[in-house]
């Protein structure tokens, strides 16, 4: 007789199943926390001081990293396309192409990545460590709703501040692109700016802002939720933080796809 | 009114951690809860303060009773100062929001700190305090709303004997001050002796002793005998260390 439980097949299935279960549990937790957050927000009584604190943390603290990443992306793109287009006599299109790529796509997603690593991970780990040291239980016993106190201000800061972060970093990125095009392909600044406005529509800017807001809210919610449901000790705090980062990455990639297909297909 | 627990049962993963537990604590009375690690003492407190739901049974408390709990590792908010920690429920709880002025809050916090023998540490962060001080700040935070029921989870665990005595005295004083019903979970004989009026002993989810503290310390029942003599031999076996 073979022991079924010892076969590789059984163990493989088991592992697979536990992964799926974990996935579903995480998804469930995020959904539950989203509903709770919305419910808590519906009272329209947000602690203003905490909200301002979180907003400044979300934007100002992350800006150096976000700007660097977006600017580098923008510089690299300009470096690749400006000389090439200029060589083919299409130097007039460098500005519009850069603006299109940055505004429609790269600024938001690159800022998103930067925010996940700067802000998402710290949201997740700080709330997770509060959970494992019973600070969240203590809050409940003191009859203060931890969702309202911890998650709502962070979620709102993401929704409100992400567009701001993206606007600033896009602006900075395009300035860098203009400088690089000027240096590498002798495209004048005036030419770059004129061409930029040719390529962009108000719709692009509107979609970019809306998308960033969704990104910010999603990152904050997922990070808080992964932290909030942590049980155990230091090891689990690490696992939750990793989970928050991975889930946030995948989630904003999916949002990006959804926005692209809804608005540009 | 106090607090009454009736036929409480709690299971984790089909394993009964608490099995049909009943007891009563009057106003101005302290009940000690003793038992091995893993015997469900913390679970009992968490059910009473609403952090966990029982599988069956009832907790009867006065309507709208404010229940306070102090945690084994204090559970102070590490991102807030001592002052902000103690004032937290008065500032953040819905029913109190905006009710107290800054001056009033300062006064209340200073008064509560004085009760637990600490003064002038309002601006420190929890990480700057010793374990015993953290516990006392935790006490001050718990009693800031003048609760009628106070639950202490291992208040003296990990403290030196003198600090333990200090904490035990505060438990007695707080009870008198608020005429509250208290539950003290502990392993420590000194805490049972100094801080409690009566006691229950839990083993394998059941109450194996219920009576006065005095009688528990006399060790007449085989369970209490084993406990007070700290003997390996007896009706209770440690299954997990
Ligand atoms: N959330 C939980 N999920 C599953 N099992 C738990 C949970 N909390 C406690 N337990 C189990 O219940 C038992 C009692 O735990 P606890 O009440 O913390 O004991 P004590 O405080 O007396 O040391 C232990 O065996 C513990 O493993
Ligand atoms: Mg315990």
Does the beta carbon of B51 sit less than 6 angstroms from any atom of ligand 1? no
Instruction: Summarize pLDDT for B110-169 with one digit per residue, the tens.
Output: 999 998 889 999 999 999 999 889 999 999 999 999 999 999 999 988 888 888 898 899
A133 touches chain B (CB under 8 A): yes
Whether residue A14 lies inside any domain: the answer is no
Side-by-side strand order, sheet with B149-153 = B67-70, B149-153, B181-185, B30-35, B198-203, B206-212
Distance B203 CA to ligand 2 centre (A): 14
Distance B57 CA to ligand 2 centre (A): 21
Whether residue A130 lies inside any domain: the answer is yes
B93 → closest Cβ in A135, A138, A144: A144
Q: Per DSSP, which regions of chain B are E strands?
A: 3-12, 15-25, 30-35, 56-60, 67-70, 149-153, 181-185, 198-203, 206-212
d(CA B86, CA B93): 12
Dihedral angle sign, alpha carbons of residues A134, A136, A139, A143? negative
What pLDDT score does B240 carry? 60
Percent of chain B having pLDDT more than 70?
99
Does the beta carbon of B234 sit less than 6 angstroms from any atom of ligand 1? no
Asked whether the predicted pLDDT for residue B241 surpasses 60, the reply is: no
Phi, psi of B48 (to 5 degrees): -65, -40
* Arithmetic mean of pLDDT, B11-24: 94
Structural domains for chain B? 1-66+147-241 (3.40.50.300), 77-145 (no CATH)
Whether residue A237 lies inside any domain: the answer is yes
Mean pLDDT, all residues of chain B: 91
Contact B69 A138 (CB under 8 A): yes
b/e burial code for range A34-46 (CB count within 10 A of at least 16 → b): bebbeebbeeeee
Whether residue A142 lies inside any domain: the answer is yes
Within chain B, how many helices (H) and strands (E) appear? Answer: 8, 9
Dihedral angle sign, alpha carbons of residues A52, A58, A59, A61? positive
- Model pTM score: 0.90
Contact B71 A138 (CB under 8 A): yes
3-state helix, strand, coil in chain A (%, to 5): 90, 0, 10
Which residue in A138, A231, A233 has the most chain B C-beta atoms within 10 A of its own C-beta, making it the best mutation to test that interface? A138
B40 dihedral zone (left: phi>0; alpha: psi -120 to 50; beta): left
pLDDT band at B237 (very low <50, low <70, confident <90, very high): confident
Asked whether the predicted pLDDT for residue B45 surpasses 90, the reply is: yes
Cβ contacts (< 8 Å) between B49 and chain A: which residues? 141
Which residue in A51, A142, A146 has the most chain B C-beta atoms within 10 A of its own C-beta, making it the best mutation to test that interface? A142
DSSP string of B103-125, one letter each residue = HHHHHHHHHHHHHTT--S-TT--
Whether residue A155 lies inside any domain: the answer is yes
What pLDDT score does B65 carry? 84
Say how many domains are in chain A. 1
What pLDDT score does A42 carry? 86
pLDDT tens series, chain A, 265 aa:
677 777 888 888 989 999 899 899 999 999 999 999 999 888 777 778 889 999 999 999 899 999 999 999 999 999 999 988 888 888 888 899 999 999 999 999 999 999 999 999 999 999 999 999 999 999 999 999 999 999 999 999 999 999 999 999 999 999 999 999 999 988 889 999 998 888 888 899 999 999 999 999 999 999 999 999 999 999 999 999 999 999 999 999 999 999 999 998 8
How are beta strands B30-35 and B198-203 bridged, if at all? parallel
Q: How far is CA B19 from the centre of its chain?
A: 21
Asked whether the predicted pLDDT for residue B185 surpasses 60, the reply is: yes
Whether residue A8 lies inside any domain: the answer is no
The residue segments making up the domain with residue A183 are 47-264
């Amino acid at each position: 007789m073979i022991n079924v439980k010892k076969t590789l097949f059984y163990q493989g299935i088991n592992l697979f199943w536990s992964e799926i279960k974990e996935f579903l549990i995480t998804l469930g937790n995020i959904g539950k926390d989203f509903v709770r957050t919305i419910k808590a927000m519906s009272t329209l009584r947000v602690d203003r001081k905490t909200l301002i604190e979180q907003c400044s943390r979300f934007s100002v603290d992350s800006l150096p990293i976000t700007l660097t990443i977006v600017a580098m992306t923008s510089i690299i793109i300009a470096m690749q396309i400006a000389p090439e287009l200029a060589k083919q006599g299409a130097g007039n299109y460098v500005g519009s192409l850069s603006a299109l790529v940055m505004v429609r796509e790269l600024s938001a997603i690159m800022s998103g990545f930067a925010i996940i690593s700067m802000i998402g991970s710290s949201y997740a780990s700080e709330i997770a460590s509060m959970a494992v040291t019973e600070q969240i239980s203590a809050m409940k016993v003191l009859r203060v709703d931890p969702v309202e106190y911890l998650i709502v201000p962070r979620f709102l800061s993401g929704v409100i501040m992400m567009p701001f972060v993206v606007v600033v970093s896009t602006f900075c990125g395009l300035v860098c692109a203009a400088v690089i095009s000027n240096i590498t392909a002798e495209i004048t600044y005036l030419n770059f700016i004129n061409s930029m406005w040719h390529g962009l529509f108000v719709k692009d800017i509107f979609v970019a802002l809306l998308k960033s807001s969704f990104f910010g809210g999603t990152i904050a919610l997922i990070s808080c939720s992964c932290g909030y449901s942590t049980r155990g000790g230091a090891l689990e705090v690490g696992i939750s933080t990793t989970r928050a980062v991975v889930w946030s990455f995948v989630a904003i990639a999916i949002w990006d796809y959804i926005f692209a297909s809804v608005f540009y297909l | 009114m106090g607090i009454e627990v009736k036929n409480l049962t709690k299971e984790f993963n089909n394993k009964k951690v608490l099995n049909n537990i009943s007891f009563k604590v009057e106003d101005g009375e302290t009940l000690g809860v003793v038992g091995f690690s893993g015997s469900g003492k913390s679970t009992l407190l968490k059910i009473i303060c609403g952090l966990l739901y029982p599988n069956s049974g009832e907790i009867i408390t006065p309507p709208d009773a404010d229940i306070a709990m102090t945690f084994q590792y204090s559970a102070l908010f590490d991102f807030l100062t001592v002052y902000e920690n103690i004032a937290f429920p008065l500032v953040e709880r819905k029913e109190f929001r905006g009710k107290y002025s800054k001056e009033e809050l300062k006064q209340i916090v200073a008064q509560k700190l004085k009760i637990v023998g600490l003064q002038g540490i309002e601006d420190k962060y929890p990480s700057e305090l010793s374990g015993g001080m953290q516990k006392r700040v935790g006490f001050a935070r718990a009693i800031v709303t003048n609760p009628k029921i106070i639950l202490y989870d291992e208040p003296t665990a990990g403290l030196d004997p003198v600090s333990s005595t200090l904490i035990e005295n505060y438990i007695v004083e707080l009870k008198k001050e608020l005429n509250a019903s208290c539950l003290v979970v502990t392993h420590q004989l000194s805490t049972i002796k100094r801080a409690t009026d009566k006691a229950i002993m839990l083993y394998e989810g059941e109450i194996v002793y219920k009576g006065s503290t005095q009688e528990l310390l006399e060790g007449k029942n085989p369970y209490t005998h084993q406990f007070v003599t700290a003997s390996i031999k007896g009706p209770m076996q440690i299954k997990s260390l």
